[in-house]
Amino acid sequence: MIYLDHAAATPVSEKVLKAMIPFMTDNFFNPSSAYLPAVRVRGAYEEAKNTIANFIGAKGNDLVITSGATEANALAFTAVSKTGKILVLETEHASVLENVKKYNSKTVKVDRTGLIDLIDLKEKIDDNVELVSVSLANNELGTIQPLAEVSQILKEIRLDRLKRGVTTQLLLHSDASQGIALLELNVARLGVDLMSLNAAKVCGPKGVGALYVGHGVRLNPITLGGGQERGLRAGTENVAGTVGFATALGAIKDHSSATRKKYTTLVENLKNELIKARVEPIFLGNSKHQLANFLPVCFPGLDAERLIFKLEEKEVYVSTGAACSASKGEPSHVLRAIGLTDKEITGSLRISLGVLNNEDNIKEAGRIIRETVNDEYRRING
């Protein structure tokens, strides 16, 4: 098997699994209970939260542990009042776009590479906009957004509002799920008020995420019950998952620079194989501002879904875009937003590298993909 869809899911590492098992067996206690074994479990849980928070330059009390980035995004948007507006990128993940439908929302344009149009952003921020949501890195293109620049724009608008006596809040939220494994995150430097994280993208367990909540940001709980997570997320804490998430982040913290270099080389090697195909590929995204492990590519005139099935027969696994969109059989809203034609969208693949890839299997993958593309080209053209 050659797995090239790490943007969709990553395998749980042995180190992570080993750290989690005790909290599913011997240390199974409810962390809200009063007796000593449960108190110790509570301590392990809080320590894990601190580790996750420290990874983004925050404190454990700033985090709300969730079931993943989807729930974190939904919770973040509760910061907006009934009369407030939300602005989001038109290329955001479905968990953002679907959740903001509950609010008065508008989308902000991107350019042909998926980068935010800052002029369009400025023009759309009126005095009723309370929150702007911009992903750290796009989940289909790998395009890295200039969050610090967005934050500076919002800071200037806040100052202008203050001078004019407008008291409406203006918050910046970012879904950082896709970039967490390869980018150095610091909430202060990025200037975000809310940030969503996902353990499943960093060889941690699925079903675990977190929301960073900046000081002074007020949220409304979307689940009620025992008052866990400062009353913002009721339910017995997922201790094993949180410990697994913390362990996964600890494993990547000191290796991000070397990992980026590794993926840059592997992606370049794969590109060199693909450009030998009979159909000249179009590489998507922004080459100067792109996650090092991403290689979104278009083979105009070919059917990407048919390519995927043909590659699956040879045990090479890629996708046509976000797994949640692909499962619905819908064309990618991200590729449509960057101006691709229907023909180009139909021929587009998302290739994303990760821990299961090395020089040998990338070389083999390049050969198999190239040959499969050539076979499809010959079939279509007789």
Active site residues: 324
Distance between CA atoms of 6 and 266, rounded to whole angstroms? 14
Q: Which residues pair with 85 in a beta bridge?
A: 104, 129
Residue 279 DSSP label: S
> Quick check: helix, strand or coil at residue 302?
coil
Strands 171-175 and 129-133, by their bridges, are parallel
Measured CA distances, 277 to 50, 322, 362 (Å): 49, 25, 16
Q: Looking up tokens 């925050």, which residue turns up? A: 58
CA 153/CA 158 separation, integer angstroms = 9
Q: Sheet containing 282-283: give its strands across.
A: 282-283, 294-298, 348-352
Rg over CA atoms, the chain: 22
Q: Which pair of tokens denotes residue 204? A: 């941690």
Tell me, letter by letter, the H, E, C secondary structure of 70-98: HHHHHHHHHHCCCCCEEEEECCCCHHHHC
CA-CA distance, 113 to 140, in Å (whole number)? 11
Rounded Cα–Cα distance for residues 182 and 202 (Å): 9
In whole angstroms, give the CA distance from residue 122 to residue 157: 9
Instruction: Cite the DSSP H helix spans in 193-255.
Output: 239-253
Per the listing, tokens 């090479």 go with 316
C-alpha to C-alpha distance for 151 and 172, rounded to whole angstroms: 7
Burial level of 259, CB count in 10 A (0-12/13-18/19+)? middle
CA distances from 246 to 16, 20, 68, 208 (A): 9, 10, 14, 11
